[in-house]
Chain A
């Protein structure tokens, strides 16, 4: 798309934004992929429309606050990236734009307090855990609270588990076949500690030793995608210091959002001194399912035990796995590697579940509509089990599936595999 974005004035992030706008030929092929377009049916809440809005703001043709409501409704799910025939890097554009625009926004005191709380709590498992427990006690009060607070409370599990420490080193069972570094994630540790426990067991079982480097922290995705660029840069640099990519076969994440965040580091640091380090780091980052699937494909995956009865597993593609990282086949292949498991495809599978980072907090109404639609679509396949590879999707889907009165369990792909290894599936 023709544009006059003042790249010089905007620096490295400006280059990224101008490149994305250039590449868009406004063909509209991305429209049917976009969840907000599916709900609202207007151009401003579509990927193409948002690209035009960002272009106009960057060119100085449109006040930021006029475009903001539509840009804020973007889930960052990147379904548009998968759909785009011209390879427009929309994800990089919106992230860079949010970073550029946030300092120029005037937000209400309430809004700012909410954002501050999110940005502080999410990356700090201890704080988050305490907050989550506090929230748990507030649950009965939910009907009396404003929607912005009700949304997150709804998502809390009935019982918030105790925080479990992660071992700095997990040896391999049997001869060592590989050595990986593992990012433990933030909110996930508080809400679903078993994801990490299962991950460590499965890796170890496969002869992989796992190091959890000290000094690692939040991947920075939440800060980055809400426009808190300075916060994000601190977190990014801390991780670059904590992980030494040359010491490991891979740097693994079991949360799609975090994995995608880690893979974004080179774009975040584009044009800055650490860019080369970020590249070396990102080149080693893999989702847990990608890594295990490589073992499966080379015939090296320890065979899981058969399920005790035939199991229909509905697999939900997390946006940050399928769209942002392009990982679709690997988790399905791992599930199918368990004898007795069939994988079900979900109708409208590419449509975001509405969880998307802090979306439940920022856009509770749209998030709720999408969550409901997702739960209906999943349940229409009448699954015995629902599997997914992302903590955000997990809590959202679980909450909406329960709301529809269904008891079907929701698990991380790796939990399913772990159960199979233990003969408990």
Chain B
């Protein structure tokens, strides 16, 4: 395990420079008195760095606390409540919906120093503080013959607290489920600074906290379920002349009884972007590329499942390539993993959508989104976890030359396509502030009312991450 984070002593000997908007808000002073200077950031240079996540910049916080224990969190929450300012929880700020970017100046509580982690192999459990990096759980568990399966692409960076707040998923989620499925117990601090220990029975309040994006409480610690890793994994890549054929192949394979561990889809624009970047020999003409892993304890079963997938792909008119070795499998997955950098080379920025639609609707949805993209000035590429219909249409743009409102507008139209086909707004990245306005399209007024009552019950003063998830009540949003 990594050593605890350490404070600087000698090198921070120089007095902290005062500056415009400087260090002297009453809140920062009070927090420093309560928690000491090492856990409180108040300089402008420090605060400026806690206003963004991976998608958006927000308001500069008045103060930042880097807690080392649940007690620190309680102290910070009480001080912020007394000062009447909002509180935003923050993990690694790898979020893609603006969740950790404050909408108004307040207190940011960043969990990156709460990294205590213990493995209990006899119970197949890990106890992790909120700031533990996701991958670290599996790394610590592996010597005991166990792993923690939730695998967002950000697993080397993102924290358990952030993952649970977003209910993060990943390629493995088709077979193994999402972050929330691995939670046995949660500790959280509420808006008044009270601590709660939740299990999954009675009212599943833990379930409510999961996916709540820091709007109902601050997760400080979680007890996570671990599983033994599969002994065997096999990989194939298939490509199709048409997206519908790809979706059909997936449905057939699942109907035939295969439960692949990963089922990932890339559309033609995406395949070509990766090919331009890496020259892996991917099929440029294919409308859809499918990557599949089957895994398990027993090699014969794993092979059988792969054969079922292969047969389904061939029947649907696809062309199949099996990986002969683990290295070849890894090479095939390299294509999927390289999507992000490949897209970064086309345009510096992208708006990463995260819709989920029924698999039967997928061909139509992909086609409609493609048409929207073609009619717009922006390159639009699509990829995602096709097993559960989770699509990531990405709008690529250059903020220096292109209009962010037009990007937002296109994102909204894409969201509406998903909703029209019976889908939802977010598979794994959350609603945050990015998709907050689309909520009125996606959720009926009664349900929205229920969500608001839940929010009021747990956070009566609206102090926790205001401006996220729930759209404003007064001003209903007008749509194009």
**Which residues of A are interface residues toward B (Cβ below 8 A)?**
2, 22-23, 25-29, 31-32, 38-44, 49, 52-53, 56, 61-63, 65-67, 69-70, 73, 85-87, 147, 363-366, 369, 373
Most chain B beta-carbon neighbours within 10 Å: one of A29, A52, A62, A369: A29
Of all A-B residue pairs in the complex, the 5 with the closest CB atoms, nearest first, are A41-B5, A86-B344, A66-B45, A85-B341, A43-B49
Chain B residue total in the interface (Cβ 8 A): 49
Instruction: Note all chain A residues with C-beta closer than 8 A to B45.
Output: 44, 53, 56, 62, 66-67, 70
Q: Is the CB of A43 within 8 A of B156?
A: no
A-B contact pairs, 23 of them (CB 8 A): A25-B350, A26-B52, A26-B93, A27-B157, A28-B54, A28-B92, A28-B94, A29-B154, A41-B5, A41-B113, A41-B131, A42-B110, A42-B113, A44-B41, A52-B49, A56-B45, A66-B19, A85-B344, A87-B344, A363-B11, A365-B8, A365-B10, A373-B3
Q: Is the CB of A73 within 8 A of B112?
A: no
Q: Is the CB of B8 within 8 A of A366?
A: yes
Instruction: Note all chain A residues with C-beta closer than 8 A to B340.
Output: 27, 85-86
One digit per residue, 1 when the CB lies within 8 angstroms of any chain A CB and 0 when it does not, for chain B 394-405 equals 000001100000
Instruction: Note all chain B residues with C-beta closer than 8 A to A2.
Output: 57, 399-400
Partner of B156 from A29, A49, A52, A69 at Cβ < 8 Å: A29
Q: Is the CB of B6 within 8 A of A39?
A: yes
| CA–CA, A28 and B340, complex, Å | 13
One digit per residue, 1 when the CB lies within 8 angstroms of any chain A CB and 0 when it does not, for chain B 10-34 equals 1110100101100000000000000
Instruction: Note all chain B residues with C-beta closer than 8 A to A73.
Output: 11
Instruction: Note all chain A residues with C-beta closer than 8 A to B400.
Output: 2, 22
Instruction: Note all chain B residues with C-beta closer than 8 A to A65.
Output: 17
**Which residues of B are interface residues toward A (Cβ below 8 A)?**
2-3, 5-12, 14, 17, 19-20, 41, 43-46, 48-50, 52-54, 57, 66, 92-94, 110, 112-113, 115, 131, 133, 154, 156-158, 340-341, 344-345, 348-350, 399-400
Most chain B beta-carbon neighbours within 10 Å: one of A42, A61, A67: A42
Q: Is the CB of A40 within 8 A of B48?
A: no
Q: Is the CB of B348 within 8 A of A31?
A: no
Partner of A366 from B11, B48, B92, B154 at Cβ < 8 Å: B11
Given contacts A28-B54, A44-B45, 15 further A-B contacts (CB under 8 A): A23-B348, A26-B93, A27-B154, A29-B154, A29-B157, A31-B92, A40-B5, A42-B46, A42-B110, A43-B112, A44-B49, A63-B19, A69-B12, A87-B341, A365-B11
Nearest Cβ in chain A — how far from B297, in angstroms?
28
Nearest Cβ in chain B — how far from A160, in angstroms?
27
**Nearest CB to that of A363 among chain B residues?**
B11
| CA–CA, A29 and B48, complex, Å | 19
Nearest Cβ in chain B — how far from A319, in angstroms?
19
Q: Is the CB of B54 within 8 A of A42?
A: no
Instruction: Note all chain B residues with C-beta closer than 8 A to A66.
Output: 17, 19, 43-45
Nearest Cβ in chain B — how far from A238, in angstroms?
34
**Nearest CB to that of A376 among chain B residues?**
B3
Q: Is the CB of A41 within 8 A of B17?
A: no
| CA–CA, A43 and B111, complex, Å | 11
Q: Is the CB of A27 within 8 A of B52?
A: no
| CA–CA, A364 and B13, complex, Å | 13
Most chain A beta-carbon neighbours within 10 Å: one of B43, B53, B131: B43
Most chain B beta-carbon neighbours within 10 Å: one of A40, A41, A56: A41
| CA–CA, A38 and B110, complex, Å | 15
